Amino acid sequence: MAEDVTFHYWLSDRGGEKVELSERRLHETVLPVGLRREALPKVNPEQPPRELSDLADAGLSLNAGWSWRDGCGRAHTDSYLCEIARIAGDYRGSGVLIEHFPLDSLPEVKKDLDKIADALAMMAKAAAAPPTTGRAR
């Protein structure tokens, strides 16, 4: 388990200057093993996220840094710098990489559960009906 986790990232242009409005920071007091957080840069909050190919064509790079404390209280830091063109090559043809937040799926899950409940009710009704012999007398 990691404690006092801070993840910080931004986009930079070809000259290494930070792209305005692209900076994001995420802080978690405790981050249990297996809990994921997703965050993507947005150059303009009024517009939807651009595709990786657009960011690559603009010559942008992804800069990231993170810090955390382990279970023994030791501090750790790391950083990452990568041209978006390298990332876009790995994910050619895809749009921005967004993993949907699980709660966004709840309406669909409810519909599926309702269908299951309806099917079970029909099965229970059929099981409770008197048996038929198949022959008319």
- At 42-101, the pLDDT tens digits run 556 666 656 777 888 889 999 999 999 988 889 999 999 999 888 877 766 554 444 455
**What values do phi and psi take at 24, rounded to 5?**
-135, 150
Is pLDDT at 116 greater than 60 in this prediction?
A: yes
Q: What is the pLDDT of residues 31-50, one digit of tens each?
A: 666 666 555 555 566 666 56
Whole-angstrom Cα distance, residue 39 to residue 29? 17
Best CA proximity match to 37, nearest among 25, 46, 47, 49: 25
Q: Which residues span the domain enclosing 126?
A: 100-130
Q: Are residues 75 and 110 in the same domain?
A: no
**Same domain for 8 and 40?**
yes
Same-domain status, 16 and 67: yes
Q: Is 136 inside a domain boundary?
A: no
Asked whether residue 11 falls in the same domain as residue 48, the answer is: yes
Q: Which residues contact 128 (CB under 8 A, 6 or more apart)?
A: none
Q: Report yes or no on 68 lying in a domain.
A: yes
Structural domain count of the chain:
2
Predicted structure pTM score: 0.53
In this structure, are 10 and 73 located in the same domain?
yes
Is 137 part of any domain?
no
